[in-house]
């Protein structure tokens, strides 16, 4: 995240004054036994915890998400579109379904389109026709993993996408995806604004890595941690079942180690958690291999969890390779560790039995668990409220347990969220594993 932000950076763009009374049957009076509209003045403090009383600051606040009493678009004259981009993630179908249900049944928007295969599918040259969605289209998709609409990586020219939106008469465009998707949505908003069009562009943040800044959690993350926990528990069972058994689990996390950290805490069977944010040495006194050897000799087994982006410096000066979304493709740290561990134990005449598990694609493909299913529904419906009220270039986030509007400009101009070595989270990981802060590496 940025080291400091201003209230102006938290301001939400709008298409204009909201002058239409909402079709939702809600109240504007508190404590009358009926759910309320959210006033435009409602805010969520950026900081709720400080080191000292004098540091407490009420000047920074997000706009609170939720249904507005006055909306911008006339539902009877509106047409919405949904696109899902990037990698698969648990909960995509839940988001698609809840966006549709809120638009169709609550607001009365009858024309809702889904674009196939991400931004790529919006370019006519690729030959993908849009899906004209009905209640039957989404009836049971929340019980399935994956995305009804499919996904793809990579950008398309904003002008081409806006041409497609114009041709189909789209007023509200919902972009579901991670950092690359949100960058694309921001570029699409820029082209929409340049043409003076009235199209709301709203993001629903999705990334298993949980690295979107100014958003406490992204959907799919809870489900991913649950699947990782199963993999870790399996690795532990394998490790304790053989002499000098070592369970090695690689999990997703290109540049952020949240899955590794939370999976470690969920299982409580991990002895070493390796993440991109905390450097470690392989060799030498106090390095990872040295500490692993001591653990196995003393206890007879060990479990190691490593995020895919950890330890990339061990691969030397290999040329960087990137995927279609501009994400760096990391070298396989899991396989490297497996090889290094075997060589280390063999050189010392120590027996070892290494079981290597990589559940990455299983994580991405499963259906959302109960927590994520609820979360996806909340995100989706708040995204619809934002669009109907005329907000744009905005994503819906969760902050201090409350749903917020976050300017996409701020998100796309800020570095990804990272595990902080000085945080309560990482301290909890070290307490659970017993590992030192830096294995064989001096102070930063």
Do 7-218+368-412 and 222-364+421-433 come out as alike in CATH topology?
Answer: yes
Dump pLDDT digits (tens) for 18-52. 999 999 999 988 888 899 999 999 999 998 887 77
**For residue 323, pLDDT beyond 90:** no
Q: Which residues are catalytic?
A: 209
* Residue 224 near residue 363, CB atoms below 8 Å: yes
HEC readout, 395-406: EEEEECCEEEEE
The two structure tokens encoding residue 90: 């648990």
Give the pLDDT band of residue 2 (cuts 50, 70, 90).
low
Q: What percent of the chain has a predicted confidence (pLDDT) above 70?
A: 96
Dump pLDDT digits (tens) for 105-140. 999 999 999 999 999 999 999 989 999 999 999 999
Report the pLDDT value the prediction gives residue 411, as an integer from 0 to 100.
96
Report the pLDDT value the prediction gives residue 294, as an integer from 0 to 100.
96
Q: DSSP characters for 341-395?
A: HHHHHHHTT---EEEEE--HHHHHHSPP-HHHHHHHHHHHHHHHHHHHTTB-SEE
Q: What is the residue-averaged pLDDT of the chain?
A: 93
Report the pLDDT value the prediction gives residue 324, as an integer from 0 to 100.
63
**Within a 13 Å sphere around the CA of 238, how many CA atoms are in the beta-carbon half?**
19
The domain locations on the chain are 7-218+368-412, 222-364+421-433
First to last CA, the chain: 20
Give the pLDDT band of residue 195 (cuts 50, 70, 90).
very high
Please give the Cα distance from 307 to 309 (Å, whole number).
6
Report the pLDDT value the prediction gives residue 1, as an integer from 0 to 100.
59
Give the pLDDT band of residue 362 (cuts 50, 70, 90).
confident
**For residue 275, pLDDT beyond 80:** yes
Report the pLDDT value the prediction gives residue 444, as an integer from 0 to 100.
47
Dihedral sign for Cα atoms in the order 361, 362, 363, 368: positive
DSSP for residue 411: H
CATH class of the domain comprising 7-218+368-412 = alpha beta
Report the pLDDT value the prediction gives residue 228, as an integer from 0 to 100.
97
CB atoms within 10 A of CB 135: 11
Contacts of 358 (CB under 8 A, 6+ apart): 249, 250, 251, 334
Report the pLDDT value the prediction gives residue 147, as an integer from 0 to 100.
95
Report the pLDDT value the prediction gives residue 29, as an integer from 0 to 100.
85
3-state secondary structure of 12: coil
* Residue 281 near residue 439, CB atoms below 8 Å: yes
Give the pLDDT band of residue 166 (cuts 50, 70, 90).
very high
Q: Quick one: the chain helix, strand, coil %, rounded to 5?
A: 40, 20, 45
Dump pLDDT digits (tens) for 277-287. 999 999 999 99
Over residues 278-302, mean pLDDT: 96
**For residue 96, pLDDT beyond 80:** yes
Please give the Cα distance from 212 to 196 (Å, whole number).
29
**For residue 3, pLDDT beyond 70:** no
**For residue 432, pLDDT beyond 70:** yes
222-364+421-433 classified as CATH 3.40.50.300:
no
Q: Cα torsion for 385, 58, 426, 442, to the nearest 10°?
A: 130
Phi, psi at 225, each rounded to 5°: -60, -40
Over residues 190-212, mean pLDDT: 96
Please give the Cα distance from 171 to 110 (Å, whole number).
13
Instruction: Tell me the C-alpha to C-alpha distance, in Å, between residue 267 and each of 100, 207, 416.
Output: 36, 22, 26
């Amino acid at each position: 995240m940025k080291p400091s932000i201003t209230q102006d950076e938290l301001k939400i763009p709008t298409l204009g004054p909201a002058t239409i009374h909402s079709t939702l049957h809600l109240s504007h009076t508190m404590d009358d036994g009926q759910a309320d509209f959210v006033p435009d003045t409602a805010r969520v403090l950026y900081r709720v915890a400080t080191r000292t009383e004098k540091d407490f600051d009420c000047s920074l606040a997000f706009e609170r998400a939720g249904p507005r009493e006055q909306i911008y678009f006339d539902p009877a004259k509106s047409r919405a579109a949904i696109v899902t981009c990037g990698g698969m993630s648990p909960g995509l179908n839940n988001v698609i379904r809840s966006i549709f249900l809120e638009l169709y049944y609550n607001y009365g928007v009858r024309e809702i389109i889904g674009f196939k295969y991400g931004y790529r599918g919006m370019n006519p040259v690729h030959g993908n026709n849009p899906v004209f969605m009905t209640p039957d289209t989404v009836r049971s998709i929340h019980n399935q993993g994956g995305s009804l609409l499919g996904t793809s990586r990579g950008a398309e020219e904003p002008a081409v996408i806006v041409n497609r939106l114009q041709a189909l008469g789209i007023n509200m465009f919902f972009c579901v995806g991670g950092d690359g998707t949100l960058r694309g949505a921001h570029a699409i908003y820029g082209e929409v604004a340049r043409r003076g069009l009235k199209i709301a562009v709203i993001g629903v943040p999705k990334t298993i890595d949980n690295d979107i800044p100014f958003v406490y959690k992204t959907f799919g993350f809870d489900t991913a941690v649950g699947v990782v926990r199963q993999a870790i528990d399996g690795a532990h069972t394998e490790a304790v079942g053989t002499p000098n058994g070592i369970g090695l689990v690689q999990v997703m996390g290109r540049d952020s180690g949240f899955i590794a950290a939370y999976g470690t805490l969920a299982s409580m069977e991990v002895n070493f958690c390796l993440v991109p944010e905390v450097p470690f040495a392989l060799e030498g006194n106090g390095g990872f291999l040295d500490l692993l050897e001591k653990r196995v000799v003393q206890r007879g087994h060990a479990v190691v969890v490593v995020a895919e982006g950890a330890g990339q410096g061990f691969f030397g000066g290999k040329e960087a390779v990137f995927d279609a979304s501009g994400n760096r493709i990391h070298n396989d740290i899991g396989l490297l560790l497996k090889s290094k561990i075997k060589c280390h134990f063999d050189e010392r005449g120590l027996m070892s039995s290494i079981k290597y598990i990589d559940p990455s694609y299983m994580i991405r493909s499963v259906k959302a668990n109960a927590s994520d299913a609820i979360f996806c529904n909340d995100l989706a419906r708040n995204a619809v409220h934002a669009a109907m009220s005329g907000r744009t270039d905005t994503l819906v986030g969760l902050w201090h347990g409350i749903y917020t509007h976050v300017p996409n400009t701020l998100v796309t101009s800020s570095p990804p969220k990272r595990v902080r070595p000085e945080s309560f989270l990482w301290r909890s990981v070290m307490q659970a594993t017993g590992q030192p802060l830096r294995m064989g590496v001096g102070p930063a």
